[in-house]
Structures are given as C-alpha cells and as structure tokens.
C-alpha cells in the first residue's frame, strides 16, 4: 500500500516558506488562506484538511514519506497535528473537555518555519520574517480548522471512536509535534 500524496502538489497556489496557501472550505478562523469561492472553485472542492483526515489512518503507519511537492509538506504537518489531537483527546474526560483542550492547543503559538524549535524545520525553508509569519498564521489556521473538523469524527455518537483512538499512541515517522 503506497503512502497518500496530496492532490494539491503542483497546484498554482502561492507558496510561502515551502507552504502552499491552498484554499480552505470554510473561513471560520482568521488567517491567510483563500476561500474556494474567491478562486471560483466548486462546493466539491477537497482541501488539505479533508485530505489529511481521509489519509491519516493509513499514512500514520509509514515510517518514511517522500515529499513530491509543497502540499505534501503540509499534509505531513497535518498528519502530525491530527496525531497530537488524538493524544490530547485520549487524555480528556469527555468530548466537551477534549473540545476545550483542542481549542486551546490549536490557538496557541507553536513553533513554525524559521523558528529554532520547529520539528519540521528541515522540511520547510525559512524565508524573510514576513513570509515566516504568514506561514505560521496559515499553519495556525489549518490547526484550528482541523481540530474543529476532528471532534465530530472522534466523538461521532458521543463516545470515543475506537477506530480513531487506537492510533493515539502511534507516531508518524517517529516524530511528534
């Protein structure tokens, strides 16, 4: 079974610090991501968050990931983020508690491109300070959007979904955010 690569590799999205600013379906969270409507895309548009959610349970099983484009870098970041969300949610007492904890973690300032503590620093090239800030803002927007879409998946019937939580201790490429 091959690793899943993003459909957005090779897209004409603006790339900042090796991070393509691919549109997100919703504009619930503030950030630099364009909306599909602003680019004339249809409602069936599949964004990077959708791709990460669909591919997480098979991509997490791989120890290696060959990057074929800038969108793959973001897919790797989102896979690591989903794994962190699983880890946080598995320690929570309820779905509401998990939602609160994930909102706090997603909105916090995590290291990004150009920062010394960024775990994927070798994958995302640092650029001018304004580009690094834009990339960090985009990754924060992706984290918030992903966390908001994960909760209904993790707790579909109000109980933890065992088909997702079984991966709470698994590490993707032996890396953790």
Which whole number is the average pLDDT over 79-83?
Answer: 95
Q: What is the pLDDT of residues 88-106, one digit of tens each?
A: 999 998 899 999 999 999 9
Q: What is the pLDDT of residues 55-65, one digit of tens each?
A: 998 899 888 89
Identify the CA nearest to 145 among candidates 67, 90, 82: 82
- The pLDDT value recorded for residue 5 is 87
Q: Report the alpha-carbon distance of residue 143 to residue 146 in Å, rounded.
A: 5
> Which pLDDT band, with edges at 50, 70 and 90, does 42 fall under?
low
- Sequence spans of domains, the chain: 15-165
Q: Report the alpha-carbon distance of residue 106 to residue 39 in Å, rounded.
A: 26
Contact 88, 154 (CB under 8 A): no
| Helix locations, the chain, DSSP H | 48-59, 70-91, 95-107, 129-154, 162-165
Q: For domain 15-165, give the CATH number.
A: 1.10.1760.10
């Amino acid at each position: 079974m091959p690793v899943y690569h993003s459909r957005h590799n090779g897209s004409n999205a603006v790339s900042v610090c090796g991070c393509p600013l691919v549109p997100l379906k919703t504009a619930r969270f503030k950030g630099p991501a364009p909306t599909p409507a602003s680019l004339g895309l249809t409602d069936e548009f599949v964004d990077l968050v959708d791709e990460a959610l669909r591919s997480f349970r098979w991509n997490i099983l791989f120890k290696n990931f060959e990057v074929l484009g800038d969108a793959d870098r973001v897919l790797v970041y989102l896979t690591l983020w989903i794994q962190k969300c699983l880890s946080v949610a598995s320690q929570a007492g309820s779905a509401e508690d998990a939602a609160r904890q994930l909102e706090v973690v997603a909105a916090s300032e995590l290291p990004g491109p150009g920062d010394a503590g960024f775990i994927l620093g070798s994958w995302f090239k640092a650029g001018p300070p304004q580009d690094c800030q834009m990339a960090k803002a985009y990754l924060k927007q992706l984290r918030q959007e992903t966390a908001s879409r994960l909760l209904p998946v993790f707790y579909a019937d109000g109980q933890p979904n065992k088909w997702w939580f079984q991966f709470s201790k698994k590490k993707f490429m032996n890396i953790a955010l």
